[in-house]
């Protein structure tokens, strides 16, 4: 289906951004930050109006990799800041409750099915089992849950933007400073991740 294909394409772009900085200049010129933002927007609609977390995770990590690029980080930061609604969309992820993010991931949009296919490549789509899995079993055994992963990369990118001498003022124009702290605190409310805190 569309969301599986989109998640794979987004993950490939994300891996390319993460693999080496030699591709960052071409990715910046091609508007890959904008493409990741489109993937983010689409991820919220899902098959049954549920989030496609795998798509969201790849898009966020890809943006974080490009924004932190030593070669084109500044250009990618500018892409994330203009127009201001892009940064507002990016920051809105901190308002998603961790329980919703983790729950959606572990009840099996693509993640669990991918793990099952990796373990048994001969498995057919009808044999994939996701309905009866114990969510708490997975949550307790993961060092970093999907929500913490998303929060980490959004906060990391925001930190880089605010630390940049020219971009910090534009961030404050896009997002009113009184809103930044409550938005970050909302993410911290559900996160027990040391890095996020």
- What's the average model confidence in pLDDT over 4-24? 89
Report how far residue 175's alpha carbon sits from residue 190's, in angstroms, rounded to the nearest whole number: 22
- Which of 76-90, 126-140, 143-157 has the weakest average pLDDT? 126-140
The pTM of this model reads 0.81
Whether the Cβ atoms of residue 7 and residue 56 lie closer than 8 Å to each other: no
Each residue's pLDDT tens digit, 61-104: 999 999 999 989 999 999 999 898 999 989 888 888 888 888 77
Residue 160 in tokens: 């880089």
Average pLDDT of the chain is 81
- Which of 71-85, 117-131, 142-156, 157-171 has the weakest average pLDDT? 117-131
Report how far residue 133's alpha carbon sits from residue 102's, in angstroms, rounded to the nearest whole number: 13
Whether the Cβ atoms of residue 122 and residue 101 lie closer than 8 Å to each other: no
- What's the average model confidence in pLDDT over 45-52? 70
Distances (CA, A) of 26 to 20, 32, 61, 65: 12, 9, 18, 14
Alpha carbon 27 to its chain's center: 18
Residue 119 or residue 49, greater confidence: 49
Each residue's pLDDT tens digit, 29-46: 999 999 999 999 988 776
The closest of 52, 54, 30, 32 to 43, measured between CA atoms, is 52
What DSSP line would sit under 62-76, residue for residue?
HHHHHHT-TTTHHHH
Residue 85 in tokens: 């609604």
Distances (CA, A) of 188 to 76, 116, 123, 172: 26, 32, 39, 21
Distances (CA, A) of 159 to 43, 151, 152, 167: 24, 12, 10, 11
Q: What angle is formed at CA 115 by the lines to CA 138 and CA 1, rounded to 5 degrees? A: 115
The proportion of the chain whose per-residue pLDDT surpasses 70, expressed as a percent, equals: 73
């Amino acid at each position: 289906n569309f969301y599986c294909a989109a998640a794979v394409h987004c993950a490939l772009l994300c891996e390319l951004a993460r693999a080496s900085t030699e591709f960052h200049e071409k990715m910046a010129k091609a508007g890959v930050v904008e493409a990741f933002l489109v993937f983010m927007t689409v991820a919220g609609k899902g098959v049954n109006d549920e989030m496609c977390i795998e798509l969201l995770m790849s898009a966020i990590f890809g943006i974080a990799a490009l924004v932190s690029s030593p070669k084109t980080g500044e250009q990618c930061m500018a892409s994330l800041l203009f127009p201001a609604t892009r940064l507002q969309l990016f920051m809105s992820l901190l308002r998603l409750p961790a329980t919703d993010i983790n729950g959606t991931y572990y009840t099996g949009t693509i993640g669990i099915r991918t793990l099952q296919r990796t373990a048994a490549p001969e498995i057919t789509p009808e044999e994939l089992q996701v309905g009866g899995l114990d969510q708490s079993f997975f949550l307790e055994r993961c060092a970093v849950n999907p929500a913490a992963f998303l929060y980490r990369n959004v906060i990391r990118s925001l930190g880089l933007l605010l630390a940049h001498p020219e971009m910090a003022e534009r961030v404050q124009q896009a997002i009113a400073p009184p809103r930044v702290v409550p938005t970050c605190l909302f993410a911290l409310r559900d996160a027990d991740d040391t890095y996020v805190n």
